Structure 1
Amino acid sequence: MSFSAFPNECIASQKGDICILPITLTYPKLSSSEHCLHVNEQVLGCWLPDKLPTELNVELEADSTLTLINENAKKAPSVMLKVKYRQASSHRRRVKNPWSIF
């Protein structure tokens, strides 16, 4: 089992909006020392392995990396969290050609 977050995509109405993503976390087998969750460089919190949250709300403005960091681990598992937008682009494709031969 590896470190994962589900869902890993958040849908905001338009670019620049903050998207609140409720995620479910799964963890690999962890050592007994304290582990911290980071979104990019921001610390969400630190817990002992048996107290790590399985559900969490994360606020995202852009694509971010959720990382599980152990104080003495050199390699930290991470997950990409993506932000998508509902608002269509302002450029629209014409459905009907502007000319006709008839």
Structure 2
Amino acid sequence: MPATASPEEWQIAPSTCFTDKPGGLCRLSLNINLPRDLINTRQEVCFVLGDTLLRCIRSDLGQIEFTLELTQSTELQILVDGQLSARKILQVQSLTPSSKRRRVRNPWSFF
């Protein structure tokens, strides 16, 4: 019988990465804890970032850690035996504001 885990049972941290400037490269050291009912079931757990398969493991491990390089916010999907089990948005935020600013009010006009 396959183990099914709700997305709340997955512990994925951190979910936000900060860069020096907008569009910059961000290195994120991701720690993922598998749900207790999934550990030692020998099921295949795969991690997909956007459209790219990162890696697959057997669920013998209770925790996995790996480093990602991101330039924009991306969705991480976790598949257990080919079925979507959880998804998490990994956000990339800039420490410096974007150079584009919207004018708050109209400029003065004398005529």
Q: Structure 1 length as normaliser, TM-score?
A: 0.75
Secondary structure of 2:77 counterpart: strand
Q: Quick one: which of 80, 91, 100 aligns to 2:89?
A: 80
User: How far does residue 67 in structure 1 lie from its aligned partner after superposition?
Assistant: 1.2
Q: For residue 4 of structure 1, what is the aligned residue in structure 2?
A: 11
Q: For residue 51 of structure 2, what is the aligned residue in structure 1?
A: 41
User: How far does residue 2 in structure 1 lie from its aligned partner after superposition?
Assistant: 1.2
User: How far does residue 37 in structure 1 lie from its aligned partner after superposition?
Assistant: 0.7
**Contact residue 4 and residue 79 of structure 1 kept, 8 A:** no
CA distance in 2, matches of 1:64, 1:53: 21
Aligned length, in residue pairs: 92
List runs of 5+ in structure 1 lacking aligned partners: 94-102
Alignment of 1:9-88 (within 5 A): 9-28=16-35, 29-30=37-38, 31-51=41-61, 54-73=64-83, 75-88=84-97
Aligned partner of 2:30: which letter?
A: I
**After superposition, what is the alpha-carbon deviation per residue over 1:38-66, rounded to whole angstroms, capped at 9, x for unaligned?**
11111111111114752211111111111
